[in-house]
């Protein structure tokens, strides 16, 4: 924007003060960093001692250096997020692989091969910043696209549905699931009375409960976790034609989960398990990648689905509307500073660009208000968009001014429009068709506080999810309900939950109720309670294979394999398998009773990476135990080594035992003398001709991730 004649003449004499100031700052930042200074640039004479009256006298109030340092320290923390407080993030890019001109005019979705910078944050929902990564919880999956038309935020979760249908209930949900207010316990957990009391009175939560009690709630890694936009959004093309759209992120490494016992143990062994995994993968050049897929459907077809697409407790089965792959997301750079980037990043579902619009999803509508409001509180004022991590890459111009933490320096005397003082003529340029245009949806309805009858079906999709799970996944869901409800102290709450579950599946409800000290499930009792809106509608499908994780194998790239050994180990077969694993990108680490080296049966020195104590089995995806009579005997006498192997067996991980090492499982009664071995357990020999095949079989077993149908895990005392 041009300046007035007076302002221009003043600059011509004095130069551009903003540019001059910038040059000075750049010169300063290039100075050596070996001198500490105050925030004003004054060099510190001593960063160890405050100014005192005498060598043993009191500290002096005039010590502005001490006061500045302490004051800054006292104010370093900002309010943590109410939900999604604990997270990890990374930089990367989104690359379009299929043009979407026919569906949207969004600039970054037009040209194949175009790359858009992104910043992605993963998170747990319930716990505080200091909680553990592996708790049973929903995971946030938020992507900020820095597009040429402005920042676009796709703020989603690792589950495609949510607990509630209307944002009016969001504060109640969060209050119920957070630690109970009288004692601030439990942390990062849904296993307590207030959550289940609330949920038992909200049958609309039934579908989301099935996801929360499934293995989806305990992912193996952020890199092996799906993401969803949750809500139904709109795409609008250049002709003004609209399609509803659902967003899907699919991990390249496949979708995989932890065992529940394993997740609990990891929370104590390494509460940063997921954050560390993401950081180390990127730091090592193993860049995580997801495919972006879309479900696109016009309004006419959406009206005939048999359920309401605006209901956030419902999903659109892929078997009805397939997911169309359109791009890939790659994370290739860790943050430079956790606070400045991961903590200060501000996502908002209302940050959209031309060609992407909202639907009338009542939960989404409430979020459009909530996110701005919370950023004002958390980041201190209305200028949070000027923080480096939130700043767009496109030009920005408006007459919004001042406020706390303003970082830009607007120039000129004008802070309003229309005006004639900025450039000599009225300054007003409206975007017109180039700007953001809300979809021209026809609306006619009285103002009303009521839920649409099309939202009344609370159980058919919960039943669809249940019916789509494998037998092992169903057992995990039953066990999760039993664990959570066993923590509930009020029997009436437990009873209400199983009564509700009877509308999902009778067997599920009966199995959950068995160990809980309550009566059998009573579907009629649930239907008679206040708040119970309607019975289940006829499901669109009996089952949907896309909802199961069990078939979700994948490459074993970056999987961690532990090799257990002791002195006298035989290295022949181990070397072949080690090389085969490394060739397909797996990480192989030797674990023993001590650090340093051990001698093999041939006298070769083998370097030890970890001990049984400092790197337990829950940190690995698979276990290999080489042969050697001496090594096997020493490990059978080492309780830590035996526990390591038995624990991995209990968690259904792939195991490969060579030669004499198989005796460890045999002595525990887990390996029969004759007949088939347990699922995912490979028994090999040191015969040179069998080594390569054993390696390939082990790789195939790891690609399955877990062998959930393994027998006898309940008798393992690990």
Asked if 682 and 701 touch (Cβ cutoff 8 Å), the reply is yes
Q: Decide the pairing of beta strands 324-333 and 227-228.
A: unpaired
Q: Which of 569, 565, 572, 625 is nearest to 591 (CA)?
A: 565
Asked if 173 and 196 touch (Cβ cutoff 8 Å), the reply is no
Residues 103-133 as b or e (16 or more Cβ within 10 Å = b): bbbbbbbeeeebebebbbbbbbbbbeeebbb
The residue assigned the tokens 């009285």 is 446
Q: Which helix (H) or strand (E) holds 582?
A: helix 572-583
Let me know if 419 is a catalytic residue: no
The residue assigned the tokens 């996502």 is 347
Let me know if 84 is a catalytic residue: yes
Asked if 151 and 144 touch (Cβ cutoff 8 Å), the reply is yes
Between CA 670 and CA 679 the distance in angstroms is 11
Asked if 682 and 708 touch (Cβ cutoff 8 Å), the reply is no
Between CA 177 and CA 188 the distance in angstroms is 9
Q: Which of 404, 575, 384, 547 is nearest to 464 (CA)?
A: 547
Q: How far is CA 187 from CA 137, 177, 267, 489, in A?
A: 12, 10, 12, 17
The single-letter DSSP state of residue 285 is T
- Reported in sequence order, the residue ranges of 513-618 that DSSP labels E, i.e. its strands, are 560-564, 587-592, 596-599, 605-608, 610-611
Cis peptide before 229 (omega within 30 of 0): no
**Residue 367 buriedness (CB in 10 A; 0-12 / 13-18 / 19+):** buried
Helix axes 170-177, 193-200, angle to 10 degrees: 140
| Catalytic residue (one of 157, 383, 500, 686) | 157
The residue assigned the tokens 């490969």 is 656
Handedness of CA 557, 559, 560, 564 (dihedral sign): negative
Q: Decide the pairing of beta strands 596-599 and 605-608.
A: antiparallel
| Catalytic residue (one of 20, 39, 47, 84) | 84
Token digits of residue 68: 């500045």
Q: Residue 356 in 3-state DSSP?
A: strand
Asked if 608 and 631 touch (Cβ cutoff 8 Å), the reply is no
Handedness of CA 62, 64, 68, 70 (dihedral sign): negative
Question: Residue 589's beta-bridge partner residues?
Answer: 562
Token digits of residue 580: 């085969």
Question: Residue 610's beta-bridge partner residues?
Answer: 591
Alpha helices in 284-361 (DSSP H): 299-302
Q: Which helix (H) or strand (E) holds 175?
A: helix 170-177
Between CA 334 and CA 331 the distance in angstroms is 8
- Cβ neighbours of residue 630 under 8 Å, at least 6 residues apart? 566, 567, 568, 569, 601
What is the set of active-site residues? 84, 157
């Amino acid at each position: 924007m041009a300046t007035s004649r007076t302002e221009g003449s003043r600059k011509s004499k004095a130069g551009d003060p903003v540019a001059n100031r910038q040059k000075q700052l750049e010169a300063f930042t290039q100075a050596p960093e070996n001198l500490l200074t105050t925030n004003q640039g004054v060099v510190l004479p001593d960063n160890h001692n405050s100014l005192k009256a005498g060598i043993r006298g009191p500290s002096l109030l005039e010590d502005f250096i001490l006061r500045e340092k302490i004051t800054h320290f006292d104010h370093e923390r900002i309010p943590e997020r109410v939900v999604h407080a604990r997270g990890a993030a990374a930089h990367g890019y989104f690359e379009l692989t299929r043009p979407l001109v026919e569906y949207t005019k969004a600039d970054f979705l037009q040209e194949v091969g175009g790359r858009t910078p992104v910043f992605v944050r993963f998170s747990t929902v319930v716990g505080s910043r200091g909680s553990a990564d592996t708790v049973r919880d929903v995971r946030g999956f938020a992507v900020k696209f820095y597009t040429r038309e402005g920042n676009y935020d796709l703020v989603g979760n690792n589950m495609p549905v949510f607990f509630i249908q209307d944002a009016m209930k969001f504060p109640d949900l969060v209050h119920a699931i957070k630690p109970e207010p009288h004692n601030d316990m439990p942390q990062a957990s849904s296993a307590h009375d207030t959550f289940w009391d609330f949920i038992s009175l909200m049958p609309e939560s039934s579908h989301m409960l099935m996801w929360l009690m499934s293995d989806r709630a305990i992912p193996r890694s952020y890199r092996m976790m799906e993401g969803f936009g949750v809500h139904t959004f709109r795409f609008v093309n250049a002709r003004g034609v609209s399609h509803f759209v659902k967003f899907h992120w699919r991990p390249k490494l496949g979708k995989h989960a932890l065992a529940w016992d394993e997740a609990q143990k990891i929370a104590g062994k390494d509460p940063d398990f997921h954050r560390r995994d993401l950081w180390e993968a990127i730091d090592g050049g193993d860049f995580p990648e997801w495919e972006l897929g879309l479900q696109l459907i016009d309004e006419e077809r959406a009206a005939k689905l048999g359920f309401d697409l605006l209901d956030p407790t419902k999903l659109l089965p892929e078997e009805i509307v397939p997911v169309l792959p359109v791009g890939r997301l790659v994370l290739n750079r860790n943050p430079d500073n956790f606070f400045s980037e991961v903590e200060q990043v501000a996502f908002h579902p209302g940050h959209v660009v031309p060609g992407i619009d909202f639907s009338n999803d009542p939960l989404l509508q409430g979020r459009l208000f909530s996110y701005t409001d919370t950023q004002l509180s958390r980041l201190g004022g209305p200028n949070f968009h000027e923080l480096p991590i939130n700043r767009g890459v496109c030009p920005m111009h408006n007459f919004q001014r001042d406020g706390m933490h303003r970082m830009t320096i607007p120039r000129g005397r004008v802070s309003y429009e229309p005006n004639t003082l900025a450039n000599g003529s009225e300054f007003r340029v409206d975007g017109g068709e180039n700007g953001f245009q809300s979809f021209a949806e026809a609306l006619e309805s009285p103002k009303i506080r009521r839920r649409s009858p099309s939202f009344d079906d609370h159980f058919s999709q919960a039943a669809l999810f249940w019916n789509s799970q494998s037998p092992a996944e169903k057992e995990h869901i039953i066990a999760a309900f039993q664990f959570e409800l066993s923590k509930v102290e009020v029997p009436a709450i437990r009873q209400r939950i199983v009564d509700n579950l009877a509308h999902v599946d009778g067997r599920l409800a009966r199995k959950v109720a068995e160990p809980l000290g309550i009566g059998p499930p009573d579907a009629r009792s649930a239907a008679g309670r206040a708040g119970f809106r309607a019975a289940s509608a006829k499901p669109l499908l009996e089952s949907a294979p896309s909802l199961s994780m069990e078939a979700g194998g994948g490459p074993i790239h970056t999987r961690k394999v532990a090799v257990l050994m002791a002195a006298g180990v035989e290295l022949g077969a181990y070397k072949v398998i080690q090389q085969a694993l490394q060739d397909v990108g797996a990480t192989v680490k030797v674990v023993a009773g001590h650090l340093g080296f051990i001698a093999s049966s041939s006298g070769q020195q083998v370097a030890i990476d970890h001990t049984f104590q400092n790197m337990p089995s829950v940190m690995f995806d698979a276990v290999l135990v080489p042969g050697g009579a001496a090594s096997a005997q020493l490990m059978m006498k080492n309780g830590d080594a035996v526990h390591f192997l038995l624990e991995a067996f209990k968690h259904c991980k792939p195991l490969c035992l060579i030669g004499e090492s198989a005796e460890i499982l045999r002595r525990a009664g887990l390996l029969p003398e004759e007949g088939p071995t347990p699922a995912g357990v490979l028994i090999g020999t040191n015969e040179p001709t069998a080594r390569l095949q054993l390696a390939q079989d082990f790789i195939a077993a790891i690609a399955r991730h877990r062998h959930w149908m393994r027998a006898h895990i309940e008798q393992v005392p690990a």
